[in-house]
């Protein structure tokens, strides 16, 4: 599966949210980050565990949808999340979200999504 295109469908907690047409975000499917450690001989590789994530996903909503997102962000319970991109790629996970500030001009906020395990590509 490719990872390209803007998100066309965002579902969090069973609710579908609107996304700007030109939305751009960062998706990290890897659970490890590699660093190069120089030595007197060959370079060494250090692998550090990192969380899979979708960062900076812009969501537009009304007051009730933002209240719902705030409730999910503050809840200790996991929620179901999925992202479908313009190319048809869909990734799903159970996890939690972080909700950033709401912009008053268009009631948009940036949401970070973190799966408990990892993002699972759904085959179509």
* Cα end-to-end distance, the chain, whole Å: 10
Residue 44 lies in a domain: no
Q: Specify the 3-state DSSP secondary structure of 63.
A: helix
**What's this model's pTM, rounded to 2 decimal places?**
0.79
Residue 93 lies in a domain: yes
Residue 37 lies in a domain: no
Residue 100 lies in a domain: yes
Other residues' Cβ atoms within 10 Å of the Cβ of residue 64: 9
Residue-number span of the structural domain to which 65 is assigned: 7-29+49-122
> Could you tell me which residues come within 8 angstroms of residue 25 by beta carbon, excluding any fewer than 6 positions away?
7, 54, 55, 56, 57, 58
Residue 76 lies in a domain: yes
Q: How many structural domains compose the chain?
A: 1
* Token pair recorded at residue 43: 């370079």
CA angle 99, 105, 111 (to 5 degrees): 15
Residue 92 lies in a domain: yes
Residue 43 lies in a domain: no
Per-residue pLDDT of the chain (124 residues; tens, 9 = 90+): 445 556 678 999 999 998 888 888 888 887 788 899 988 999 999 998 888 898 999 999 898 999 999 999 999 999 999 998 888 889 999 999 999 888 888 888 999 999 998 888 887 6
């Amino acid at each position: 599966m490719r990872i390209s295109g803007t998100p066309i469908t965002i579902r969090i907690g069973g609710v579908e949210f609107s996304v700007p047409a030109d939305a751009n975000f960062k998706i990290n499917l890897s659970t490890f980050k590699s660093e190069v450690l120089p030595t007197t001989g060959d370079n060494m590789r250090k692998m550090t565990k990192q969380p899979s994530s979708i960062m900076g996903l812009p969501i537009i909503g009304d007051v009730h949808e933002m209240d719902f997102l705030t409730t999910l962000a503050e809840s200790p319970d996991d929620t179901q999340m999925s992202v479908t991109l313009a190319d048809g790629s869909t990734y799903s996970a159970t996890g939690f979200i972080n909700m950033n500030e709401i912009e008053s001009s268009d009631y948009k906020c940036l949401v970070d999504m973190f799966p408990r395990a990892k993002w699972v590509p759904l085959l179509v």
